[in-house]
Amino acid sequence: MAEKKKINYGKEFAKGILKENPVLRLVLGTCPTLATSTSVVNGVGMGIAATIVLVCSNVAISALRKVIPAKARIPAYIVIIASFVTMVQMLVKAFVPALDESLGVFLPLIVVNCIILGRAEAFAGKNPVLASAVDGLGMGIGFTAALFCMGTVREILGAGTFLSGIDTMIGAFVDLKGFTGFDFTGALDKIGLAPMTLFVLPAGGFFVFGVLMACVNKIAEGKGLKKAANTGCEGCPLAAACGKRKGEECDAE
């Protein structure tokens, strides 16, 4: 059925960035969002790594959607996603070791990022290859954009820098002419202020995420959209396997 429907590629692409932003609207992938947004470079690095995995796994899953039996689809998806994560992990280790260092355990943990399994289940498993690739790219960019916003706020307020460490990430590919990011700490020091380290710490991560979500809710409200909420089972990619019906809350006794 979905095959015959005309697919609007522009719409599929744009929905991931604003209307259905995976982090700020669907509340998926909260762990990497909070953990890797301590600086812009870190967050965007994570976003790009996840986007690559998302696009590749969406394409592979969509291409195999008629071969994978419905009952064994979750394990099959996990194997496909894990293979791409391993490839990305090896590439990052080889070409951007600084990113591997700063993301640490969150690089292999892309496997269990709900965004990727969620898109496989909600989109790639039912739609043709090109549409799935576009959907993956849109969602990936939406994820990266959310990480960029979080990272910008946390880095400027918490460390007094912006784009610091950019030379260690892309310095090997692009000639930055000695640019290593902006540093406002000197200027702050002159007027007797110091960066609020709290914002780089875990507590600041929760706080910035909460405030950002409140802002997005306010904007969404103005446009007549639903408020973002942790949808419990509906957002959970395993809802089908879990045996609970849609709308039913996870913590039903």
Partner 1 sequence: MKFYIALLIMGILTQNFVLSKFLGICPFLGVSKKLNTAVGMSAAVIFVMLLATAATYPLNILLEKNGLDYLQTIVFILVIAALVQIVEIVMKKYIKPLYNALGIYLPLITTNCAVLGVVILNIDNITEYAAYGYGFGHAMMNSFAAGAGFMLAMVIFAGVRSRLETADVPKFMQGLPITLVAASIVSLSFLGFSGLVEGLGLLG
Question: Which stretches of the chain bind partner 1, using CB under 8 A?
Answer: 27, 30-32, 34-35, 75, 78-79, 82-83, 85-86, 89-90, 104-105, 108-109, 111-114, 117, 198, 201-207, 209-211, 213-214, 217-218, 221, 227-230, 232, 236-238, 241-244, 250-251, 253
Cβ 133 to partner 1 shortest distance, Å: 23
Cβ 13 to partner 1 shortest distance, Å: 26
Between residues 30 and 168, which has the closer beta carbon with respect to partner 1? 30
Between residues 171 and 232, which has the closer beta carbon with respect to partner 1? 232
Between residues 38 and 166, which has the closer beta carbon with respect to partner 1? 38
Between residues 195 and 205, which has the closer beta carbon with respect to partner 1? 205
Backbone angles phi, psi at 200, to 5 degrees: -85, -25
Tokens of residue 81, six digits: 């996603």
Looking at the chain, how many residues does it have?
253
Q: Which amino acid is residue 138, in one-letter code?
A: G
Cβ 76 to partner 1 shortest distance, Å: 11
Cβ 237 to partner 1 shortest distance, Å: 7
Alpha-carbon distance 193 to 21, whole Å?
Answer: 35
Between residues 10 and 202, which has the closer beta carbon with respect to partner 1? 202
The string of DSSP codes covering the chain is -TTTSPP-HHHHHHHHHTTT-TTTTS---HHHHHHHTTSHHHHHHHHHHHHHHHHHHHHHHHHTTTTS-GGGHHHHHHHHHHHHHHHHHHHHHHH-HHHHHHHGGGTGGGGG-HHHHHHIIIIITTS-HHHHHHHHHHHHHHHHHHHHHHHHHHHHHHHSEESTTHHHHHTTTS--TT---EE-HHHHHHTT----GGGTSHHHHHHHHHHHHHHHHHHHHHTTPPPP---TTTT-TTHHHHTPPTT--TT--
Between residues 131 and 149, which has the closer beta carbon with respect to partner 1? 149
Cβ 163 to partner 1 shortest distance, Å: 22
Cβ 177 to partner 1 shortest distance, Å: 35
Between residues 14 and 198, which has the closer beta carbon with respect to partner 1? 198
Alpha-carbon distance 87 to 164, whole Å?
Answer: 27
Cβ 28 to partner 1 shortest distance, Å: 8
